[in-house]
Structure 1
Amino acid sequence: MRRVVSLYLPTWPSDRIRRRDKAAPPRDKPLVTATAANGSRVVASACRAAQALGIRAGMAVAQAQAMVPGITVREAAPDADADALARLAAWCLWCAPLTAPDPPDGIWIEIAGSAHLFGGEAAMLRTLLTRLRDGGCTVRLAVADTPGAAWAVARFAPRETSPLVGPGQMAAAVASLPVRALRLAPETVAGLVELGIERVAQLAALPRGPLSLRVGRAVLQRLDQVLGHAPEPIAWVMPAEAVVVRRAFPEPISAPSTLERVATDLTGDLVALLARRGLGARRLDLTFRRVDGGVHAICVGTASATRDAAHLTRLLCARLAEVDPGFGLDEATLAAGRTEPLAAVQGEGLDTGETAQVDLAVLVDRLAARAGARRVFRVVPVESRVPERSQRRAPPLAPADGRSWPADLARPARLFEPPEPVQATALLPDAPPALFVWRGVRHRVVRADGPERVRGEWWAAEGELASLRDYYRVETEDGARYWIYRDAPMAEGPRWWLQGVFG
């Protein structure tokens, strides 16, 4: 299934100037670009600060200077804007295998095969937004099954609208948008408005035959492209320095066994090319072109740089079931979307006995391909006595920093975050509970050890200055062992919490 992101950069010319020119005014100061038109100089683009002061594209520069004395005016450079947009589209290849500029102020990104590497579409969009905004870009975006629907939502939907258009939900997403959201020429939009057609829903409800005679086929084609009834091919970019291998087929292919054979052959060719360049792959992008012009891509990532052809082939073949060949595939492209230097390794005479080092990267890659990269991690110690803060997630192959928990520290195998409340009864002040009720089940305690007193980290938060916990390791009559704590002395009406369960 196709999933396309439309990036909208409404102030791209001024953003580009600020990114490359240190003498440009800060973002809270107005900046416009100017060009010659009809014998006078007019505003070609305006930053958000200038727009807030009432300056718009097409306005005479003299009028803008009269409205905002001291406004910064730079010469418009559409060619430089287009070149920078193409470079930004190539930069976006870090998150997806297929990107393309959408001049003058947009970028296309096909994420159907790569969103899983970031924990899903929502997480991927958040990462993309953060990196672009940190780089000084004003940006809005949306993702949908079709480029047209994503383009319309990114530019015309209210800001509170979710940027995620669900599969098959294009019609509902664009129904209330103005007809200019269909990427129609201004004169066509004006003609539709004269006919009383101002919203996409109004256009979609009209009979197609009379409408085609009245407004032309171009309008219906744009509507069909938005709704997914007509194809819309995009010329995806590929950097010249990319490590890429391609294979065209004299006859369309579609059989799963044929796709596996193609993936195997392409991987072998790519590994040989990587070896000649002294590189290892960290991400592979396998792209299939369909005979109807559609493109389907799948991505796999690796925990460390590798040129193991068999391992990479297994990762790719595990995801080939996602490829929809349609009426057939006529070309396949395999690219190393991310590479790292990797020295050659002598493969003969290595120790293969019990002392040989196990390559955990292969296991990590297989687990990530099945469960998702975000679900494969290891837990590392953190210097904190508060149990829920004493560990954090780390990449599965991250190097150890030398920290470790004390060998005699008794901690349960399973911790609850947040701790779960329990109703407990203690026979004496500051004594362990004699019984407790957890999740509606009554447990009688037959053995207990404690208390272990843990004070709050006053240096982390002022509210923890008076925080106090008394932990007990308790065993119930059925042999289960729990970690329970009281967060205040009994005289003050303590609360009881279950923090963990021992294995």
Structure 2
Amino acid sequence: MPRVVSVYLPTWPTDRYRRMLGRQAPAADKPVVMIGREGSRRLIMAADGAAQAAGLRIGMTASKAQVLVSDLIIEDFRPEEDRLELERLALWFLGNYAPIVAIDPPDGIVVDTTGADHLHGNETLMLTAMINRLHAMGFTARAAVADTWGAAHALARHEARPYVIAEAGGIAVSVLDLPISALRLDGAIVAALRTLGFERIGELEATPRAPLALRFGPEIGRRLDQLMGRLAEPIDPIRPAEAIEVRRAFAEPIAAAETIARYVEKLVARICTVLEEKGLGVRRLDLICHRVDGGAQVIRAGTAKPVREVQRLTRLLCDRTETIDPGFGIELMTLSASRVEALDTVQTVSSLIEEPEADVSGLVDVIANRGHRVYRIAAVESDVPERSFMLVPPLVEDDEIGWPNHWPRPPRLLAPPEPIQCLALLPDHPPANFTWRGIRHVVKRADGPERVFGEWWKRDRELAAVRDYFSVENEAGERFWIYRQGDGEHADSGSGNWFIHGVFG
């Protein structure tokens, strides 16, 4: 079942203007509008959230807007620049989410995520990640995923708060109550339909086609069929100018899995030859199979380090060729190296000199391309335990940062630390016993306290924050890492409550 994501950027021109200004951008509560010309009239073409909250609307004259809002910030509307920046943003989506991405002008991006959502956890995690990352860039965003481009487009603009996920196969249920303006029809057609009494898509869907086609032409029927999935709507993907691609067109469409795998190997061999000539290795490969019905099937494979080994890359792609639905046949296959890095030829070290390190990158690639997250833990310069590590790619080079070795750390940390009830002598004595998850533990041995101070340069409330950590062992030999919030003497240093933060193996 195809799945398409539509990303809607409702205030794209004004958000882009603020991002361009950076620190000199006006405050978020200052209304900003973009003015363009329509004949001799100067009209609002784009308005940010503050301007819309003040009562300004797209299509309103600039003179009226200035009367309504005295401190209004007015800028020229630049649709060509907006489109170029939208294309750059689409390339960012191409590198981070899926191989088939296109702009949906003037304020949207469409992404074919069929078979790619598992690489991001699931559709919910994928959409929230998209929206959150766009917000971090300074863009207001809403998103929807559905079986067709038309349905996702409509839901993103009329239902998403901030996102909506349409059930697979449930297009009619999700879109029939939406307004007819969600059909991507010309404004004049929408106005004429409303004059005739049409307000909802369901009303148009239930109306005989012949009278509508006689009066308005085939556009209404075409948009309805695209929306409902009765008519294919291919996405013409954007490609970076520097992308390395190879293609294979077929005189007769192919469909058998063995045939697809055979041509995948041939394409991989060709692209590896090109990569070798350029001294590059691939980090991400995109295989796009164009079907005769206009649809496309996609496989994306990534590697932990630059690679140009034909056998290894072929295996990564062929592991997932069973997910390809050829339909009535595949007429064109495109293999694109969407992410590449320099790869120098390394001379093999003789085993008589030293034992070569085991290369586990192939195993990492297989696991990661099956949808599992692969990472390792690296140290971060922080005394606060839960901030002293981060997740990094599995094969990233080691740095010189390490964890403190003068105090032992448990292999398992609890997130978040769990409260416990303790009996202890203040200020520096370890607890005599503690109760955790309803079980009472009598402390037989203890080491500490290890004092950890808050990071006052991050948050003011950590200026006086203190934790006193103890490593304790109970009668059964089980060892725990517990701490008291506060120094046991000053109330402003912490609540004095006890927590368990880790368990030793």
TM-score, with structure 1 as normaliser: 0.81
Q: Deviations over 1:188-246 (max 9, x none)?
A: 33343344331224444x3xxx5213323643442332232332122223334310111
Partner-residue secondary structure (3-state), 1:241: coil
Structure 2 CA distance for partners of 1:452 and 1:81, relative to 1, 3 Å = closer
Structure 2 CA distance for partners of 1:119 and 1:201, relative to 1, 3 Å = same
Q: Deviations over 1:93-112 (max 9, x none)?
A: 22221122333443322223
Q: Is the Cα contact below 8 Å between 2:8 and 2:108 reproduced in 1?
A: yes
**How many Å separate the matches in 2 of 1:88 and 1:14?**
15
1:369 is aligned to: 369
1:143 is aligned to: 145
1:450 is aligned to: 447
Structure 2 CA distance for partners of 1:266 and 1:140, relative to 1, 3 Å = same
Q: Deviations over 1:124-166 (max 9, x none)?
A: 4455445655666554433322100111122223x63524334
**Is 1:394 paired with 2:392?**
yes
Q: Which amino acid aligns with 1:184?
A: L
Q: Which amino acid aligns with 1:241?
A: E
Q: Which amino acid aligns with 2:502?
A: G
CA positional deviation for 1:346: 4.2
**How many Å separate the matches in 2 of 1:430 and 1:87?**
58
**How many Å separate the matches in 1 of 2:356 and 2:173?**
59
How many equivalent residue pairs? 489
1:140-179 aligned at under 5 Å gives the runs: 140-157=142-159, 160-179=161-180
1:251 is aligned to: 252
1:193-342 aligned at under 5 Å gives the runs: 193-204=194-205, 206=206, 211-216=208-213, 218-342=219-343
Structure 2 CA distance for partners of 1:58 and 1:467, relative to 1, 3 Å = closer
Comparing 411-420 with 189-198, greater Cα deviation is found at 189-198
**How many Å separate the matches in 2 of 1:26 and 1:351?**
64
Structure 2 CA distance for partners of 1:321 and 1:42, relative to 1, 3 Å = same
Comparing 489-498 with 193-202, greater Cα deviation is found at 489-498
Structure 2 CA distance for partners of 1:359 and 1:196, relative to 1, 3 Å = same
**How many Å separate the matches in 2 of 1:5 and 1:268?**
32
Q: Deviations over 1:379-405 (max 9, x none)?
A: 222344443333222222333231223
1:471 is aligned to: 470
The gaps in structure 2 that reach 5 residues or longer are none
**How many Å separate the matches in 2 of 1:383 and 1:90?**
34
**How many Å separate the matches in 2 of 1:352 and 1:125?**
53
Q: Deviations over 1:261-319 (max 9, x none)?
A: 23222211111111112221111111111222111212122222221222222222222
Q: Which amino acid aligns with 1:6?
A: S
Q: Is the Cα contact below 8 Å between 1:449 and 1:472 reproduced in 2?
A: yes
Q: Is the Cα contact below 8 Å between 2:428 and 2:449 reproduced in 1?
A: no
Partner-residue secondary structure (3-state), 2:191: helix
1:6 is aligned to: 6
Q: Is the Cα contact below 8 Å between 1:385 and 1:454 reproduced in 2?
A: no
Q: Which amino acid aligns with 1:333?
A: T
**How many Å separate the matches in 1 of 2:368 and 2:430?**
43
Structure 2 CA distance for partners of 1:194 and 1:310, relative to 1, 3 Å = same
Identity between Structure 1 and Structure 2 (%): 43
**How many Å separate the matches in 2 of 1:193 and 1:327?**
40
Partner-residue secondary structure (3-state), 1:239: coil
Q: Is the Cα contact below 8 Å between 2:142 and 2:163 reproduced in 1?
A: no
Q: Which amino acid aligns with 1:225?
A: Q
Partner-residue secondary structure (3-state), 1:168: coil
Q: Deviations over 1:35-82 (max 9, x none)?
A: 353xx34437234366566665555566667777897564x6666655
Structure 2 CA distance for partners of 1:339 and 1:435, relative to 1, 3 Å = same
